[in-house]
Amino acid sequence: MRYVIVYMRSRAFRNRVDAAIVEAQLNKMGIRLISAKEDFGEGPHAVAMEGMLDVMNHLMNTLQGLDIQEKMRTKAVNGGTLGFARIGYINARVEFGGKQINTIALDEECASLVRKAFELYATGDYGLERLEATMADLGLAARARGQYPERPVTFKRLHEMLRNPYYAGWVDYEGKRYPGRHEPIVSQALFDKVQDVRDIP
């Protein structure tokens, strides 16, 4: 008999269906799965206990996912930024009500370049390829993150940026739009002009 040892079953399987499929495949190969923290032994009672544990782990994962979704929805409704700070903004900590809270602030130098990209595109004289080259020359760059160094903003990122209402002060979540608490980089009029230019065949 060969063994596969995991720390906990919840670390190996995200739901009860995955657990059942993987264990069936392991059993066919004569391999026994052992949880270091949840070893119920062998036999039908052990199989039943493992199955109930997988069901409970599945339930907990589902409830945690729903809780995260609700927190994200509440944050969006209240104008909070979801995820990392966009290009032109930085993550910051400020004092509010005597407490330090996480928030989003303008990256002043980068924000001015983002605004410039919108202004140039709104003229109708700049396609995305030309805009990419121009903004690279002006110094617009995506911040270093993890293993990725600071780098020029690509054609694809510019396309996403120019159609993102976040830059006009909005937060989108699950198909709905909410007023953001962050400071807009571009006016609504400029944002709308850019969308009009993008829609031109």
Domain ranges of the chain: 2-77, 108-198
Per-residue model confidence as pLDDT tens digits over 86-110: 999 998 887 666 777 778 899 988 9
Of the candidates 75, 108, 101, the one whose C-alpha atom is nearest the C-alpha of residue 181 is 75
Q: Three-class SS of residue 201?
A: coil
Domain 108-198 has what CATH class?
alpha beta
Cα 167 to Cα 194: distance, rounded to the nearest angstrom: 12
- In this prediction, residue 1 has a pLDDT band, given cuts at 50, 70 and 90, of low
Beta bridge partners of 178: 171
Q: Average pLDDT for residues 124-142, to the nearest whole number?
A: 93
CB atoms within 10 A of CB 182: 22
Q: Kindly state the tokens that stand for 60.
A: 């907990």
Of 90-99, 121-130, 134-143, 162-171, minimum mean pLDDT range: 90-99
Q: Are 155 and 128 in contact (CB under 8 A)?
A: yes
Beta bridge partners of 120: none
- In this prediction, residue 201 has a pLDDT band, given cuts at 50, 70 and 90, of low
